[in-house]
Structure 1
Amino acid sequence: MNNFVGLSKIGLVRQRNEDRFFIDGPICAVTDGMGGYSGGEIASTYAVDEIKEYLASLQTVGQQDLCDAIIHANERIANRVAHEERLAGMGTTAVVTAINGNQLYWASVGDSRLYVYRDGLLRQITTDHSMVQELLAAGEITKDEMLNHPQRNLLTRAVGVDNTLEVDSGVESILPGDRILLCTDGLCGYVSDDVIASALQSTDDDMKVIESLMESVYDVGAGDNVTIVVGTI
């Protein structure tokens, strides 16, 4: 399999980039911080550092290990917030994946996403923990309306906010040629799944996919920081 590649860029209306990502062989993670002052930046950085360190200590990594790594990061961030009042309210999304053979394990909190692209079809694997996702599930808005909804940035679940945390997770069977994409809502909150699929369809070069998607985001104003990780099986 090809190595994963990633890129993170600051949006046009942001003063700092609160997104983070890491790629460590078959393990990838993307985080998107939230919170005033430097809180979001601290939370997202803390999360990737703690998740990476936790998983690096294991011989093999499975679905439960990814959940445990996010829960570990949650405890560390919540503990820091408890000792530094200025960081109250900070938190972060997290989507983490690990590949073992023909299995893709994943775990997620927040609205950063995991997609799998196969034979021209893009599938969103994770479910957003957001207000607009709940409105979509209730049939009150359409998927297209999620992109412009005034509450699209409101999360219903995030890492580091509470002492207890529910983590979504799963496993996907993958095939040679599958493309894996992780991103923050700086991408999927501003461009449609059709645009993402088109970029993946247009080239086998994973970095060119990322560059094309970055252009699409900036064409619509880059209202948030954007982080994208892509790999081909």
Structure 2
Amino acid sequence: MSTPPSTPVLTHLLYLHGFRSSPQSFKARRTLEWFARHHPQVHVAIPHLPASPRQAMQQVQELVRAWPKKSMAVMGSSLGGYYATWVAAQYACPAVLLNPAVFPARDLAQHIGEVTSWHDPQEKQFFQPEYIGQLQALAIDPSQPPSAPQWGLIAQGDEVLDWREMVARYPLARQTVLAGSDHALSDSFELYLPALAQFLCTLGADAGQAVINH
């Protein structure tokens, strides 16, 4: 009798924060703490992304350059979810998408100018007009099936992004659509983190594609 293949195991996780956010965000810190407690063997990286999308993805590429691509995964929130979609396409790795931005070039056009960080008002960046084109250049064709499993955690109560656009953008991903919650998933992220982490730790080996409503 042949031995069944072993389940793939995560070794490196990349977490990408959203617009005006940072590695100090609630979800970023909880993710880091959860893996440190339950899977300390997994290397979790949460880079502080610059305002320039091109520079942000160049930073990510440099960060993961030496990572084993067959055992890495990515998690991204809001704009970080848009970035995570691009990273997942480049490296054929599983992704968890937390209220992912779908049309950031459209939505962030109104934010051109000086912006401050949510977690440090003293930290200021300038969102340049050319960043809109940089965002457009990172778009992944939604008609192309992802090369690795994806799971979207989407809140109908998101006060920033339209949950219907998120659901429509990821038709082939496993989706958990929350009836309420908010953009930050402040009342639900910790509840789902163990399941999301298990999905990542097995590199999506147990992924389904059904839309789950709660």
Q: TM-score, normalised by structure 1?
A: 0.32
Greater relative CO (CA pairs within 8 A, separation 6+): 1
Higher strand share: 1
